[in-house]
Amino acid sequence: MLKKDRFKFFLDYFTRNFPEPETELHYRNPYELLVAVILSAQCTDKRINLVTPLLFERFPDPQSLAASNVEEVFTYIKSVSYPNNKSKHLIGMARMLVEQFNSDIPATVEELQKLPGVGRKTANVVVSVVYNQPAMAVDTHVFRVSRRLGLVPMTASTPLAVEMGLLKYLPKFLVYKAHHWLILHGRYICIARSPKCSECPLTSFCKYFEDNVKTGLLQS
């Protein structure tokens, strides 16, 4: 199957069955989203959503967070992964927002990446979710699912290679939605170990299913 056909089937299915996907992180404004995404690195959204209500109550804006210290922030996020580093990142991020960006969340990937704790993936999430820009954040789910489906080749061995491969074929106005589609599909169906192929609605064009599951069924 040609790659363009795989993309067509992928987009047709999700635009028809899941037209308005959203991040599962809870947030009310760009500042809260940025904090939540920084915290979510190597941690589940469910855990982050348990932590952020009290954190945002204490630090409702960059100014209040910037005026705090690492030790205090740690007490609010100690149950997430790498709380020491993330406490430092949050304080540094907030202070840079206040000092260099007038407490506003930057709208470009380049400016966001200047903030402590913000890599390309985090920056892409923020500009995609907040500003609906055609940015593709490649986390472990996007990386796995896009390769299994055959949207990008298995030789795309880095997040950047996967990002570029997806952006080459995705219509710009659907990129931010496709980001959520891939994440949610990977989180609930196309899981890392023992993907739920028997429940998957995408097997008709899935490269993984074609090469591994379907072949095995034919041989049995």
* pTM summary value: 0.89
pLDDT at 220: 40
**What is the CATH code for 30-131?**
1.10.340.30
Which secondary-structure segment (H or E) carries 34? helix 30-40
Quick: pLDDT tens for 118-131: 999 999 999 999 98
pLDDT at 201: 96
Quick: pLDDT tens for 182-214: 999 999 999 999 999 999 999 999 999 999 876
Residue range(s) of every CATH 1.10.1670.10 domain in the chain: 3-21+136-219
Quick: pLDDT tens for 98-112: 999 999 999 999 999
pLDDT at 18: 96
Catalytic residue numbers read: 121, 139
Is 43 among the annotated ligand-binding positions? no
Which residues in the chain come in under a pLDDT of 50?
218-220
pLDDT at 196: 96
Residue range(s) of every CATH 1.10.340.30 domain in the chain: 30-131
pLDDT at 212: 86
24-61 burial, b if ≥16 CB within 10 A, otherwise e?
ebebeebbbbbbbbbbbbebebeebeebbeebbeebee
Query: Who contacts 68 (Cβ-Cβ below 8 Å, separation ≥6)?
Result: 59, 91, 94
Structural class in CATH, domain 3-21+136-219: mainly alpha
